[in-house]
């Protein structure tokens, strides 16, 4: 399979339309159609369901697999090209890819990045947010230079620097909620209340605090990023269990934060693969991270 043909396929999958994909690729529609047909013949399976004219193209199961793997392949090639080009420049420049969990403690990482870019302004950092499984998958495949995660680290596979602060768990709720009158929220306070949390926390963190009671809790919604979860809490869908500092809370908003009691905290780590070959940009960033973290 040629990279050019893979990019053609990804464009058709993205657009859902052969004509629009051909236009974006600057090729004729017959040329593109033949390339896709040849690819399907090579793989021995259809990649799209052939719908009536004017209907969006829909991926087959094989097409979905190729789209997922092909996207990773295209990203890896692009990252490799950028890393090689950075070696050819006399001036230090290039891109660093970092997958990260959502946390206010990313401010420590931001301080390191600011210090780096003051000296090397042509270094760019690409951040990718997601849950730990998604981020580690990209790190293991080489799509990321670093990952920031909020769970225990497999030290046999990864090198690790721990952030100098922990994330504190609590409940985000409407200010007019009866629970908002309390300084801290205890387990019994949440019984029978509608709760919102992240899917990862439901697996990793909340069982430590709820114990066997977790099975009795009324989880009405889950989310993997904080903004939309905050909107749900603001709209009275439920009480949001989340790290402190991820949802905007001030005098103008209708939300407030109350910590859990007993306190529940989570460690945060910057990790990278053991034996990983770093670019010059990644080495410099890691050096700045160590300085910032050690000087806090």
Q: What is the pLDDT of residues 169-213, one digit of tens each?
A: 999 999 999 999 999 999 999 998 999 999 888 888 889 899 989
pLDDT value at residue 90: 62
DSSP string for 239-293: EEEEETTSS--STTSSEEEEEBSS--EE--EEEEETT----HHHHHHHHHHHHHH
pLDDT value at residue 153: 87
Q: pTM for this structure?
A: 0.71
- Of 245, 110, 275, 224, nearest in space to 172 by CA: 245
State the burial class of residue 238 (Cβ atoms within 10 Å of its Cβ: 0-12, 13-18, 19+).
buried
Answer yes or no: are the C-beta atoms of 249 and 171 closer than 8 Å. no
Place of tokens 């926390």: 201
Please state the separation of Cα 66 from the chain's center in Å. Answer: 21
pLDDT value at residue 296: 64
Q: For 190, which DSSP code? A: G
Query: Within a 10 A sphere around the Cβ of 287, how many other Cβ atoms?
Result: 12
Tokens for 67?
């789209």
Q: Which residues of the chain have pLDDT under 50?
A: none
Tokens for 57?
């193209």
Distance of alpha carbon 282 from alpha carbon 269, whole angstroms: 16
pLDDT value at residue 87: 63
Distance of alpha carbon 288 from alpha carbon 220, whole angstroms: 42
Place of tokens 């004219």: 53
pLDDT value at residue 264: 92
Rg (CA), the chain: 23
Q: Find all residues with CB under 8 Å of 26, minimum gap 6, and list them.
A: none
């Amino acid at each position: 399979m040629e990279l050019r043909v893979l990019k053609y396929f990804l464009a058709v999958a993205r657009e859902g339309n052969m004509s629009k994909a051909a236009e974006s690729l600057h090729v004729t529609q017959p040329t593109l159609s033949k390339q896709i047909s040849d690819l399907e013949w090579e793989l021995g399976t259809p990649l799209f369901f052939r719908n009536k004219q004017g209907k969006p193209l829909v991926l087959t199961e094989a097409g979905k697999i190729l789209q997922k793997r092909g996207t990773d392949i295209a990203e890896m090639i692009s990252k490799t090209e950028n890393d090689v080009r950075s070696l050819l420049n006399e001036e230090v420049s290039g891109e660093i890819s970092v997958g990260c969990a959502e946390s206010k403690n990313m401010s420590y990482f931001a301080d390191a990045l600011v210090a780096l870019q003051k000296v090397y302004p042509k270094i760019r950092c690409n951040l990718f947010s997601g849950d730990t499984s998604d981020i580690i998958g990209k790190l293991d495949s080489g799509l990321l230079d670093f990952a920031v995660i909020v769970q225990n680290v497999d030290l046999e596979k990864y090198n690790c620097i721990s952030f100098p602060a922990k994330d504190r768990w609590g409940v985000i709720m409407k200010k007019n909620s009866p629970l908002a009158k309390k300084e801290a929220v205890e387990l019994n306070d949440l019984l029978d209340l509608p709760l919102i949390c992240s899917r990862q926390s439901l697996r990793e963190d909340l069982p430590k605090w709820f114990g066997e009671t977790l099975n009795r809790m009324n989880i009405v919604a889950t989310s993997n990023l904080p903004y939309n979860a905050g909107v749900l809490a603001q709209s009275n869908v439920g009480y949001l269990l989340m790290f402190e500092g991820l949802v905007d809370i001030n005098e103008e908003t209708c939300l407030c934060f109350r910590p859990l009691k007993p306190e529940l905290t989570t460690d945060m780590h910057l990790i990278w693969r053991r034996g990983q070959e770093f670019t010059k940009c990644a080495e410099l960033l890691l050096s700045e991270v160590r300085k910032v973290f050690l000087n806090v």
